[in-house]
Amino acid sequence: MQNALSVKVKTFHQPRHLNLRKTLRKNKWRMILSHHPPCQFDRTYKIFGIRICSRCLGVFCGFILTLGIFHYVDSNQLSIFFLGYLLSLPAIVTFLIHELRYARITNFFRMITGSGLGYTLAVIMTFLFDGHCFNGILLLFYLLLLEIIVAFILNKKKRLIPFIKEYEDAVL
């Protein structure tokens, strides 16, 4: 029997996605260098026990290599610009091929195509810092357009939501 003065207290629990401390402890920062969830660890290299995304490693290498080359070589601005357009495409195309399950792409191939994307990012940065801002912004918007097209294609083929879900499940 309950006392007439007793009040039933309803307790509210913090939603799972808002419990940041538990989430960080669970993930142990594993997605900092490898933004891939555990179900996609085949897309990473394991270096000294740390998973690193293979395409991002290629982007980093291509970026550093390109900046080094630009430091010593003075090339035609127009050729650098169009090469930036061309070399970003293989990374985008191989990503789509793999995500749409048309073919399986190896980590080495991801790294090579990622280096082309790294070249494009280095070209953008060089243009922005060398006073050719219009060309840098144009290339940046080109990459943004490519990403929108990729999202549209994945959504049209009903692969965008499952792709996002894999990441959400890994983080939360």
Residue with tokens 């430091």: 71
In the predicted structure, residue 134 carries a pLDDT above the cut 60: yes
Stretch 98-122: mean pLDDT, rounded?
94
Tokens 């294609």 belong to residue: 153
pLDDT-based confidence at residue 80 (cuts at 50, 70, 90): confident
Q: H/E/C letters for each residue in the chain? A: CCCCCCCCCCCCCCCHHHCHHHHHHHHCCCCCCCCCCHHHHHHEEEECCEEEEHHHHHHHHHHHHHHHHHHHCCCCHHHHHHHHHHHHHHHHHHHHHHHCCCCCCCHHHHHHHHHHHHHHHHHHHHHHHCCCHHHHHHHHHHHHHHHHHHHHHHHHCCCHHHHHHHHHHHHC
The pTM (predicted TM-score) of the whole model is 0.76
pLDDT(4) > 60: no
- Give the whole-number percent of the chain exceeding pLDDT 70: 78
Pairwise CA distance, residues 103 & 89, whole Å = 17
pLDDT, position 122:
94
